[in-house]
Amino acid sequence: MLILGIESSCDETSCAIVKDGREVLSNEIYTQIPIHLEYGGVVPEIASRNHLIKISDVVDNALEKAGVSLDDVDAIAVTRGPGLVGALLVGVNYAKALSYALKKPLIGVNHLKGHLLSPLLTYPDLEPPYIALVVSGGNSYLAICHDYDDIEVLGKSRDDALGEAYDKVARTLDFEYPGGPKIDKAAKLGDGKAIDFPRVYLEEGSLDFSFSGIKTAVLNYINSQKQKNLEVNKNDVAASFQEAVLEVLVNKSILACKKYNNNKLVVSGGVAANSRLRELFSNEAEKNDIEVYYPEFQYCTDNAGMIAAAAYYIDALEKEAALRLNANPSLGL
Ligand code: KG4
């Protein structure tokens, strides 16, 4: 089954052709990062306009790279939420038009399910059940994937998403948007033990997260250094920030694996591209006899490959979406 997937939930316009939910024939991604850079973050209206400008070319390129035509495609899949409403609507309406004109089924996909299933594109033999940690720019979830379309949320961020915390701390350090990769790079040159930022575990045994306090802690540290006329070593701040948030992330994920007696752990979403995260997870997982699965880098940040893959596996109810489908900016997992 060939599925054409479309993703436009934030600042990436993407189209992919995926065979049987696993084999990616093409995964075209047009990123708007250079456009939003001067504003220090994504400007929703500018994002929607640029999706409109690019979407036809991105779809045409995906078909050409895959060596298939629209006639060969069996179904159209599209991200229906969560995300920026104007951005989502561009993808949803483009997909509706394709589905109507080609008389092919339309499948609405939850973006978070896409992230959760994205490692299927990298590991052909990976199958549920597994524990999944999704850490992206807009969401942070710990879940158990009992089956491809049977997902139970175990915990989530009560405030900022982890990617959001990375981007906000990066802005405090005057790093360019998007801040996650800049913090990743700077931290390699810094000392993670230099500053003792708080580790927020919440109630004992809780699998929820809270990342909003740490940006205030970073800001307070920088201000107090400045007041004392002391230098701020940005590399040390970046490294110490990472150690604080990643320690909590790793420990809660391992706890979830133990609690649910499952030794397969999927770590996905934009922040899963982080090199220190991968190092820490791999070390701790080995000690606890847990296997960690990360998507390839191109499937970590927003991409249509994961949307087409998820569409192959999602239940009939969502598959019946057809032309009634609408964007839902605040869709949960
Ligand atoms: O998954 P994604 O493209 O967006 C959502 O679906 O929300 O993730 C984008 C987020 C941004 O916050 C970005 O700073 C972060 O992922 N990110 C990283 C790294 N690469 C991207 N954070 C930490 N380290 C990285 N290497």
pLDDT by residue (tens digit) across 265-319? 999 999 999 999 999 999 999 999 999 999 999 999 999 999 999 999 986 555 5
pLDDT of residue 17: 98
pLDDT of residue 156: 97
pLDDT of residue 317: 53
- Stated pTM of the model: 0.93
For residue 323, name the pLDDT band (cuts at 50, 70, 90): confident
Q: CA-based angle 320:21:71, to the nearest 5?
A: 70
Least confident of 33-47, 106-120, 148-162, 319-333: 319-333
For residue 321, name the pLDDT band (cuts at 50, 70, 90): low
For residue 1, name the pLDDT band (cuts at 50, 70, 90): very high
Q: Which atom of ligand 1 is nearest to 302's Cα? A: 3
pLDDT of residue 316: 55
Query: Nearest C-alpha to atom 4 of ligand 1 is from which residue?
Result: 137
Amino acid sitting at position 118: S
Residue 88 CB-density burial (10 A; 0-12 exposed, 13-18 middle, 19+ buried): buried
Is the per-residue pLDDT at 74 higher than 70? yes
Query: Nearest C-alpha to atom 3 of ligand 1 is from which residue?
Result: 301
The larger pLDDT score, comparing residue 323 to residue 25, is at 25
Cβ–ligand 1 contact at 274 (below 6 Å): yes
CA 300 to ligand 1 center in whole angstroms: 8
Residues whose CB is less than 8 angstroms from the CB of residue 325 and which lie 6 or more positions away in sequence, other chains included: 78, 80, 92, 95, 96, 106, 108
For the residues 85-93, what does the mean pLDDT come to?
Answer: 98
For the residues 45-55, what does the mean pLDDT come to?
Answer: 98
Residues whose CB is less than 8 angstroms from the CB of residue 186 and which lie 6 or more positions away in sequence, other chains included: 173, 175, 234, 235, 238, 239
User: Ligand 1: which of 9, 32, 136 to mutate, judged by most atoms within 8 Å of the beta carbon?
Assistant: 136
Cβ–ligand 1 contact at 242 (below 6 Å): no
Look at phi and psi of residue 68 and say left if phi exceeds 0, alpha if psi is from -120 to 50, else beta: beta
pLDDT of residue 314: 83
Percentage above 90 pLDDT, the chain: 92
d(CA 167, CA 253): 22
The residues pairing with 78 across neighbouring beta strands, listed in sequence order, are 6, 108
pLDDT of residue 40: 86
Cβ–ligand 1 contact at 163 (below 6 Å): yes
Q: Which atom of ligand 1 is nearest to 115's Cα? A: 1
Least confident of 57-71, 149-163, 304-318: 304-318
CA 81 to ligand 1 center in whole angstroms: 17
d(CA 91, CA 242): 34
Cβ count within 10 A of residue 260: 16
d(CA 133, CA 119): 12
Q: Which atom of ligand 1 is nearest to 273's Cα? A: 26
User: Ligand 1: which of 30, 166, 182, 268 to mutate, judged by most atoms within 8 Å of the beta carbon?
Assistant: 166
d(CA 12, CA 26): 16
Mean predicted lDDT score pLDDT of the chain: 95
Cβ–ligand 1 contact at 160 (below 6 Å): no
Beta-sheet strands, E only, within 55-122: 75-81, 106-110
pLDDT of residue 92: 97
Q: Considering all CA atoms of the chain, what is the largest pairwise distance in Å, rounded to the nearest integer? A: 68
Least confident of 67-71, 143-147, 188-192, 297-301: 297-301
Cβ–ligand 1 contact at 236 (below 6 Å): no
pLDDT of residue 177: 87
For the residues 186-211, what does the mean pLDDT come to?
Answer: 96
Q: What is the pLDDT of residues 204-256, one digit of tens each?
A: 999 999 999 999 999 999 999 999 999 999 999 999 999 999 999 999 999 99
d(CA 192, CA 198): 13
Is the per-residue pLDDT at 320 higher than 80? no
